Chains A and B, each alone.
Chain A
């Protein structure tokens, strides 16, 4: 029953838009609903990237712990994907993730999903088609952030 409901939620999520219903059912088997309270840590930098999340509602900050106070470099909101590191070896989380507000999400067991992708390359390809643009988009955003366009010397 729970799996069936999750299937519908997955099919309706923008990230999975257009995904074959059979694939939605397959990946629902690796998913569950989760909730993080305000201030709760979702994962820490260096943790195994054994879960990725589709944020349904909420606000999560990605933080880089440093020598001084941690720096928030990205926040994630409704329909965003949290922890794309699950697709890239060595499958380690790149930042700390902390719920800024109460956040509800679908959590996917990454090892389970990697196994299903290995077993069915069509499913793997469909998922990669969705993850690669996210990774590229985030790389572009990071590039723009690194350019520090509003910094000293910029008229804007």
Chain B
């Protein structure tokens, strides 16, 4: 009987080789991976994640930050947080990782067509939203106003800084960046991301908003959106909880009645408004 891993077994990781590593900020890296089996890397929908397996260390859920139109390579942006992600940060081009996925729900881009789209990305939250932004830009004529808001801790921690510069120069979209504090040599905005919401110039009745970042930042952002008259069902957030199977079996990622690996990570706010802020969840 063969014990060779089967491609159809979702618990068995595929082997990928790192072909590029970009040092984004002091603790964050973007890796481009290609499968060693020579097949398509990964067809995914923006907002989905993979389980990345670092041999000898463990497995972590990481969002896909690359272009959905380029499925021949897989792009992930990883912040060194704990044991697995710190070890991940030491990997270099040529190293191997295991990948399972893609898993989870996606940003509802098709449902947003014909209306405004507002992206609110705090810190590393820009990573899973970058895939959505690539898709929005590729299909620009399907949407009305597109606005991207990004908040970071300080100028040095701004993720994808060069791309943000390009988006700011793109007259077809609005893009604003703010940092929580800065030195006097910074010429951009300083202040929390929520204050950009009122300036983004969208139609609250026709906007679909995608919010991703630390949970407190998302909570404040949702409040700011509601203050502008955006209904809960027009607000979509990406929630994070610890994950193991990513298949809806183990319950590690339970968030109230939802399993975030399967029902999430992207959820519309009307589904979770009663759960947000409950410390036990």
**Whole-angstrom distance from the CB of A147 to the nearest CB of chain B?**
6
Residues of A within 8 A of B181 (CB): 71-73, 145
Cross-chain contact A74 with B190 (CB below 8 angstroms) = yes
Interface size on B (CB < 8 Å)?
Answer: 32
Cross-chain contact B183 with A71 (CB below 8 angstroms) = yes
Would you call A69 an interface residue if the criterion is a C-beta within 8 Å of the partner chain's C-beta atoms? yes
**Whole-angstrom distance from the CB of A111 to the nearest CB of chain B?**
29
**Whole-angstrom distance from the CB of A60 to the nearest CB of chain B?**
11
Would you call B81 an interface residue if the criterion is a C-beta within 8 Å of the partner chain's C-beta atoms? yes
Residues of A within 8 A of B217 (CB): 144, 149-150, 156
Instruction: State A61–B183 Cα separation when bound (angstroms).
Output: 10
Would you call B203 an interface residue if the criterion is a C-beta within 8 Å of the partner chain's C-beta atoms? no
Residues of B within 8 A of A150 (CB): 122-124, 151-153, 157, 180, 213-214, 217
Instruction: List CB contacts (< 8 Å) of B177-191 with chain A.
Output: 180-184, 186-191
Would you call B194 an interface residue if the criterion is a C-beta within 8 Å of the partner chain's C-beta atoms? yes
Main DSSP-derived SS at the A contact region: mixed
Q: Which of B186, B187, B190 has the most CB of A within 10 A?
A: B190
Would you call A151 an interface residue if the criterion is a C-beta within 8 Å of the partner chain's C-beta atoms? yes
On whether A144 and B220 interact (CB within 8 A), knowing A72-B181, A150-B152, the answer reads yes
On whether A144 and B216 interact (CB within 8 A), knowing A73-B190, A74-B191, the answer reads yes
Instruction: List CB contacts (< 8 Å) of B140-179 with chain A.
Output: 151-153, 157
**Whole-angstrom distance from the CB of A146 to the nearest CB of chain B?**
9
Smallest CB gap from A156: residue in B: B214
Cross-chain contact A145 with B124 (CB below 8 angstroms) = no
Cross-chain contact B192 with A70 (CB below 8 angstroms) = no
**Whole-angstrom distance from the CB of A149 to the nearest CB of chain B?**
4
Cross-chain contact B214 with A154 (CB below 8 angstroms) = yes
Would you call A148 an interface residue if the criterion is a C-beta within 8 Å of the partner chain's C-beta atoms? yes
Cross-chain contact B216 with A147 (CB below 8 angstroms) = yes
Cross-chain contact A149 with B216 (CB below 8 angstroms) = yes
Cross-chain contact A148 with B153 (CB below 8 angstroms) = yes
Residues of B within 8 A of A75 (CB): 188-191
Cross-chain contact A144 with B194 (CB below 8 angstroms) = yes
Cross-chain contact B153 with A151 (CB below 8 angstroms) = yes
Contact of A72 among B153, B186, B192, B195 (CB under 8 A): B186
Would you call A88 an interface residue if the criterion is a C-beta within 8 Å of the partner chain's C-beta atoms? no
Instruction: List CB contacts (< 8 Å) of A67-107 with chain B.
Output: 69-75, 77, 98, 100
On whether A72 and B123 interact (CB within 8 A), knowing A77-B189, A150-B153, A155-B79, the answer reads no
Apart from A73-B181, A74-B190, 10 more pairs, CB < 8 Å: A61-B190, A63-B184, A70-B183, A72-B181, A72-B186, A145-B192, A149-B216, A149-B217, A155-B79, A156-B123
Q: Enumerate chain A interface residues (CB-CB to B < 8 A).
A: 59, 61-63, 69-75, 77, 98, 100, 137, 140-141, 144-145, 147-151, 153-156
Q: Enumerate chain B interface residues (CB-CB to A < 8 A).
A: 79, 81, 122-125, 151-153, 157, 180-184, 186-192, 194-195, 212-217, 220, 240
The contact sample of 20 A-B pairs, CB cut-off 8 A, is A70-B183, A71-B182, A72-B183, A74-B191, A141-B191, A141-B194, A144-B192, A144-B220, A145-B180, A149-B123, A149-B214, A150-B124, A150-B151, A150-B153, A150-B180, A150-B213, A154-B214, A155-B240, A156-B123, A156-B217
